[in-house]
Amino acid sequence: MQKLKNFLFVVYFSISFTVFAGERTIPVDIFLMIDKSQSMSEPGKFESLRKWVRNTLITEMLIPGDWITVWEFYKEPYELQTLDIKNEADRMQLVKTIDGITPDGRYTDIGRALDSIQTSLNNRGRNNRYKILLLVTDLEQDAPWTSKYRGKQESFKSPYLAEARIIKHDNWYEITLDMDIQDKVVKTTKELYTDIMENKNTPRSEDDQNTALITEKKD
């Protein structure tokens, strides 16, 4: 039930984040992962992304009490800044950090970036605060051969993105992630396996037994 409440809040929060930013009173934890690979230097990408992060996310959406961790990634992810938002000086620190990012990284390993968000989320722990997980990228995967996600894809696919909310801005995407999808897949698989094991000795119906006999005769 708690996971459902969290998921519904993320959906509500994502939809109304901009519209009701000035009315929000509940502080949240925000995980922001920014693509700084070379492909992001193309028109309509990084400068547009930087403007959105500065003018919309930092200036309009954040409220005092929010906790935010900012990462950049290309070949590997790197943590740039983590802080609690208390005043305008903290916002200016974030703006300075965002202004310092240059889209010049060789390779783009989105898979590894998603893994790092999951790790950062786990390290933050359950603190009864809602988690907003944002990935901003052009979704062009070009990971090195040393990565488990090696290879190039024009539009990266991942289980983490299966239930994500994806919004296109110019030539990049604002992606709100549901990292619980992996837990759901594992849980479903375990439940299916348990059901099979518990029913393996259950007497089969007459039709099933006839089918088995026909198969044995063929063999």
Average pLDDT value for residue range 124-132? 89
pLDDT at site 22? 53
Looking at residue 10, its pLDDT comes to: 43
CB 28 within 8 A of CB 131: yes
Render pLDDT for 99-109 as a digit per residue (tens, 0 to 9): 999 999 999 99
11 versus 114: which is more confidently predicted?
A: 114
pLDDT given at position 178: 72
Q: What's residue 163's pLDDT? A: 75
pLDDT > 60? residue 199 = no
Output the pLDDT for position 193: 39
pLDDT digits (tens, 9 = 90+) for 68-82: 999 999 999 999 999
Handedness of CA 102, 108, 111, 116 (dihedral sign): negative
How far from 112 is each of 86, 92, 170, 206, 211, CA to CA, in Å?
31, 29, 24, 51, 47
Q: Across residues 184-193, what is the average pLDDT?
A: 41
Return mean pLDDT, the chain: 79
What is the average pLDDT across 175-183?
66
In sequence order, the β-bridge partners of residue 37 are 105
Q: Confidence class of residue 126 from pLDDT cuts 50, 70 and 90?
A: confident
Q: What phi-psi label fits residue 119: left (phi over 0), alpha (psi between -120 and 50 degrees) or beta?
A: alpha
Q: What percent of the chain has pLDDT over 90?
A: 57
Could you tell me the two tokens for 91? 């916002």
Q: How confident is the model at residue 161 (pLDDT cuts 50, 70, 90)?
A: confident
Specify the pLDDT at position 59: 92
* Average pLDDT value for residue range 14-31: 66
Give per-residue burial for 25-60: e unless 16+ CB within 10 Å, then b: eebbbbbbbbbbbbbbeeeebbeebbebbeeebbee
Q: How confident is the model at residue 185 (pLDDT cuts 50, 70, 90)?
A: very low
The rounded distance, in Å, linking the Cα atoms of 30 and 81 is 12
Question: Quick one: pLDDT at residue 135?
Answer: 95
Tell me what pLDDT residue 177 has. 87
Q: Is the pLDDT of residue 180 over 50?
A: yes
| Domains of the chain from N-terminus onward | 2-179 (3.40.50.410), 186-218 (no CATH)
